A and B are shown apart, each in its own frame.
Chain A
């Protein structure tokens, strides 16, 4: 497994863990899992910390070794990942524009409480899309490396 593939796996893992923590903190946890909410957040936070430490160790190792860390194939695979990530962001922007447009249109008739909830929705949506986009990039990279 090349170093770039390890980075892709580590990025995917930390993204998924971050997304789960974010979703739990913002939208809450399903009632059947409520007793383990604290443990779950703690476990996911530990995963993120371990992942950060792991990536730091790999970066330090990279400086010591003489071999090439990234070559043209890695760049080509990364470019494919960026392309897919770009499409994810593009779709998300179109959805967000549609949402903001309809929010303005229905704003005059909607319930104020509903409108207040709608105001924070784009923020959460953008955070989720950011994680989804970077995760999509990592998934494409891993798939290409595994081909």
Chain B
């Protein structure tokens, strides 16, 4: 899938969550390890439901896990 402007902090959050593996996270959110990898690499933008599930695993708000650039930043980056 093509790159998405939505970035995330999943890698860091996994590290702070006792170095949780991608497979562990995938099992907890009901996705495959490949999908977790694609989301982390910003190659796939998850659905709102999956984003909420990921945020809840780390006990965070969705905005704390996923970041969407401002309009001006998006225009500059193309």
Contact = CB atoms under 8 A, between A and B. Distances in A.
A2 interface: yes
A73 B44 contact: yes
A3 to B, nearest CB: 8
B31 interface: yes
A71 interface: yes
Contacts of B33: 2, 67
A147 B1 CA distance: 6
Interface in B30-50: 30-35, 38, 43-44, 46-47, 50
Contact of B32 (A66, A68, A76, A147): A68
Interface in A8-33: none
Contacts of A3: 32
B62 interface: no
A1 B32 CA distance: 11
Interface string B11-28: 000000000000100110
Interface string A52-67: 0000000000000011
Given A68-B31, A73-B38, 12 more contacts: A1-B34, A2-B34, A67-B26, A68-B26, A69-B32, A70-B32, A71-B31, A71-B35, A71-B50, A73-B1, A73-B34, A147-B43
Interface of A: 1-5, 66-74, 76-77, 144-145, 147
27 contacts: A2-B32, A2-B33, A2-B34, A4-B32, A5-B34, A66-B27, A67-B23, A68-B27, A68-B30, A68-B31, A70-B32, A71-B32, A71-B35, A72-B31, A72-B35, A72-B47, A72-B50, A73-B1, A73-B31, A73-B34, A73-B38, A74-B32, A76-B1, A77-B1, A145-B34, A147-B1, A147-B43
